[in-house]
Amino acid sequence: MLKYENNIIFVDLIEGYITMLREHNHQATLSRVAISVLLALGSTLAFGSNDDPFFDLDLQEVLNLEITSVSKKPQTVSRAAAAVFVITSDDIRRSGASSIPELLRMAPGIQVGQISNNTWGVSSRGMDGRFTNKLLVLVDGRSIYTPTFSGVYWDVQDTVLADIERIEVIRGPGAAIWGANAVNGVINIITKSAAATQGGLVEASAGSSDRGTGSVRYGGKVGEIGHWRLYAKGFEREGSLVESTGARGNDFWQQQRVGFRTDLTPSGRDAVTVQGDFYEGRSGESAFLNKLSAPYNILTGTTQTVSGGNLLGRWQRDLSATDSFTVQGYFDHTKRDWPAHVNEVRTTYDVDFQYRTKRLSGHDLVIGAAYRLSEDEMSASYTGIPSNTLQFSTFIPASSSTSLYSVFIQDDISLLPKELVLTLGTKLEHNDYSGLEHQPNAKLLWTPSETTTLWGSAARAVRTPSRIDAGGMVNQTVLPPFTSRNPLNLPVLITAQGRVETETVVAYEAGWKQRITPTLSTDLALFHNRYTDLRTGLFGTAVCQPSGTPVSTFCFLAPGQTYVQQPTSGGNLAVGQSYGMELSADWRVRPDLRFQFAWTELRIRMKEEPSAFTTDREGSTPKHQLGLRMAWNPRSDIDVDLWLRHVSKLPLIAEGVPTVPAYNEADIRLAWRPSKDLELALIGRNLLHKRHKEFASELLDVQQMQIERAVMGRLSWKF
Amino acid sequence: MRSFRSLATAALSAILLMSANVWAQTVPREERIKAALLFKLVKFVEWPATALSGSAPLQLCAFGNSGVADALAAADGKPARDRIAKFRKPDSLSANDLKGCHVLYIPAGTRDIASGVPPTLRNRGGGLLTISDQPDFARRGGMIGLSQGENKMTFEINLRIAREAGIEPGAPLLELATVVD
pLDDT at A47: 36
The whole-angstrom separation of Cα B55 and Cα A327 is 49
Give the whole-angstrom CA distance, residue A705 versus residue A694: 8
Chain B residues in contact with A588 (beta carbon < 8 A): 26, 28
**Nearest C-alpha of chain B: how many angstroms from A54?**
6
CB count in 10 Å sphere of residue A618: 16
Say how many residues make up chain B. Answer: 181
pLDDT at A226: 83
User: Residue B2 pLDDT more than 70?
Assistant: no
Q: Where are the domains of chain A?
A: 8-718
Do residues A706 and A696 touch, judged by C-beta distance below 8 A? no
At A661 the pLDDT is 96
Residue type, B5: R
d(CA A180, nearest CA chain B) in Å: 26
ipTM of the prediction greater than 0.90, yes or no: no
In this prediction, residue A43 carries a pLDDT of 40
CA distance A665 to chain B (A): 30
Interchain contact, B40 vs A518, CB within 8 Å: no
Put simply, the answer to whether B21 touches A46 (Cβ < 8 Å) is yes
Residue A473 phi/psi, 5-degree rounding, is -125, 140
Number of neighbours of residue A380 by Cβ within 10 angstroms: 19
Q: Which tens digit of pLDDT belongs to each residue from B49-70?
A: 888 877 788 999 999 888 899 8
What's the start-to-end Cα distance of chain B, in Å?
69
CA of A177: how far to CAs of A84, A410, A424, A431, A466, in Å?
Answer: 15, 8, 11, 16, 20
CB contact under 8 Å between B20 and A47, yes or no, is: yes
A contacts of B147 (beta carbons < 8 Å): 196
- Residue A663 phi/psi, 5-degree rounding, is -145, 155
Chain A interface test: which of B1, B12, B115 (most A C-beta within 10 Å): B115
Q: At what angle do helices A26-43 and A2-23 cross, to 10 degrees?
A: 170
Q: What is the Cα–Cα distance from A423 to A402, expressed in whole angstroms?
A: 32
Q: How far apart are CA A417 and CA A537, in angstroms?
A: 51
Residue A266's pLDDT is what? Answer: 83
CB contact under 8 A, B107 and A3: no
Q: Does residue A502 have a pLDDT over 50?
A: yes
When the pLDDT of each residue in chain A is averaged and rounded to a whole number, the result is 88
Cβ distance A54 to B41 less than 8 Å, yes or no, reads: no
pLDDT > 70 in chain A, percent: 90
Tell me how many residue pairs between chain A and chain B have CB atoms under 8 A apart. 192
Q: Do B71 and A72 touch (CB under 8 A)?
A: no
DSSP state of A67: P
Given an 8 Å threshold on Cβ–Cβ distance, is A63 in contact with B76?
no
- The mean pLDDT value for A205-232 works out to 92
pLDDT in tens, B147-173: 887 667 889 998 888 888 888 888 878
Report chain B residues whose CB lies below 8 A from the CB of A364. 111
The region of weakest confidence among A194-198, A366-370, B15-19, B49-53 is B15-19
What Cα–Cα distance (Å) separates residue A83 from each residue in A174, A180, A243, A697? 10, 19, 37, 28
Where does the pLDDT of residue A246 fall: very low under 50, low under 70, confident under 90, or very high at 90 and above? very high
Return the closest-CA partner of residue A308 out of A135, A158, A147, A133.
Answer: A158
Summarize the confidence of residues A384-404 as an average pLDDT.
93
CA distances A333 to A100, A179, A303, B132, Å, are: 20, 21, 20, 39
| CA gap B121, A419 in Å, rounded | 23
Q: What is the pLDDT of residue B26?
A: 56
Which tens digit of pLDDT belongs to each residue from A635-675?
Answer: 989 999 999 999 999 999 988 889 999 999 999 999 999 99
A36: chain B residues, CB-CB within 8 Å: none
From A122, A147, A194, select the one nearest A463 (Cα to Cα).
Answer: A147
Q: What is the mean pLDDT of residues A450-477?
A: 91
Cβ proximity of A146 and A131 under 8 Å = no
Inter-chain touch A59–B43, beta carbons under 8 Å: yes
Q: How far is A323 from chain B (nearest CA, A)?
A: 9
Choices 3.30.230.10, 3.30.1490.20, 3.90.950.20, 2.40.170.20: CATH for A8-718? 2.40.170.20
Judge whether residue A19 has pLDDT over 50.
Answer: no
Three-state DSSP at B95 gives helix
Domain boundaries, chain B: 28-180
Query: Under DSSP, is residue A240 helix (H, G, I), strand (E, B) or coil?
Result: coil
Distance (Å, whole) CA A146 – CA A143? 8
Q: Partners of A534 in the beta sheet?
A: A574
Select from B20, B65, B152 the Cβ nearest to the Cβ of A46. Answer: B20
What does R_g of chain A's alpha carbons equal in angstroms?
A: 29
What residues in B contact A1, CB-CB < 8 Å?
70, 73-74, 76, 87
Q: DSSP letters of A627-654? A: EEEEEEEEETTEEEEEEEEEE--BS-SS
Once rounded to an integer, what is the mean pLDDT over residues A582-599? Answer: 92
A509: left (phi over 0), alpha (psi -120 to 50) or beta: beta
Which H or E run contains A598? strand A593-608
Across A330-334, A358-362, B77-81, B99-103, the highest mean pLDDT is recorded for A330-334
pTM of the model: 0.75
The reported pLDDT for the residue numbered A268 is: 66
How many angstroms separate the CA of residue B21 from the nearest CA in chain A?
5
| Yes or no, beta carbons of B36 and A591 under 8 Å apart | no
CATH architecture group of domain B28-180: 3-Layer(aba) Sandwich (3.40)
The verdict on a CB contact (< 8 Å) between A42 and B147 is no
Assess whether pLDDT exceeds 70 at residue A22. no
Specify the pLDDT at position A269.
Answer: 76
The phi and psi torsions of B72 (rounded to 5 degrees) equal -70, -25
User: How far is A225 from chain B, CA to nearest CA, in Å?
Assistant: 7
Q: Which of B2, B4, B31, B40 to probe the A interface (max A CBs under 10 A)?
A: B40
Q: Tell me whether strands B153-157 and B178-179 are parallel, antiparallel or unpaired.
A: parallel
Is A195–B70 a contact, with Cβ atoms under 8 angstroms apart?
no
Interface touch B20/A42, C-beta < 8 Å: yes
| Residue A81, SS3 per DSSP | coil
Burial class (CB in 10 A: 0-12, 13-18, 19+), A546: exposed
Q: Which residues pair with A259 in a beta bridge?
A: A231, A277
